[in-house]
Structure 1
Amino acid sequence: MLDFWSNVKSELEYRGISQKELAAEISESYNTLQSWINRDRLPNAVQAVRISRALGTSVEFLVTGRDEKFRADNTETIRLLEKAIENLR
């Protein structure tokens, strides 16, 4: 399986989104999405952007599994959340 679909599936699981919900969010049929995944076919650029936006990540992350800019944003968010939790104690 292409890393793209492995990364998509990981993000779906992490975010608690079903493949049917993703298909609806990107305005594609569930059968079309399943066809891409089962045939290990990459979506075109527009579809890849729609998928990344629906998952709140970048196309770069879906293709490579890495996205330094996106990861840096998450690191700052985690730091702020940890600080807020500490202040609640």
Structure 2
Amino acid sequence: MLDFWMRVKELLKAQNATQDKIAKQINERADTFSKWIQKDRLPDAEQSYKIAVALGVSVEYLVTGEEPDNSEKIKQAKELLYKTIETLDNI
């Protein structure tokens, strides 16, 4: 079985969710979703994204098992936010 589906199954179990629930969330038929898993077929990029969102993870996690490192982006966003607040305080 592809690691993608192993991670999906692990997340379903951890979240006490079902394949049917996720299928509904991504607007896919439950039997189609089940067949993807049974036949070890990856969904297209859009459906992969929807599955990741429904499970609260990134597509990168489903594919690689690792979350992306967003620490630099977060740091930049914080700096911009602090500058914005400082500017607003001086108005």
Structure-1-length-normalised TM-score: 0.75
Percent identity of equivalent pairs: 45
Taking the aligned partners of 1:48 and 1:10, their CA distance within structure 2 comes to 16
Superposition RMSD in Å? 1.4
* C-alpha separation in 1, matches of 2:55 and 2:69: 16
* Residue 5 of structure 1: aligned partner: 5
User: Quick one: distance in 1 between partners of 2:21 and 2:55?
Assistant: 11
**Structure with max Cα Rg:** 2
Matched with 1:35 is: 35
Q: Which has the higher contact order (CA 8 A, sep 6+)?
A: 1
Separation (CA, whole Å) in 1 of partners of 2:31 and 2:69: 33
Q: Runs of 4+ in structure 1 displaced over 4 angstroms?
A: none
Q: CA deviation at 1:69?
A: 3.3
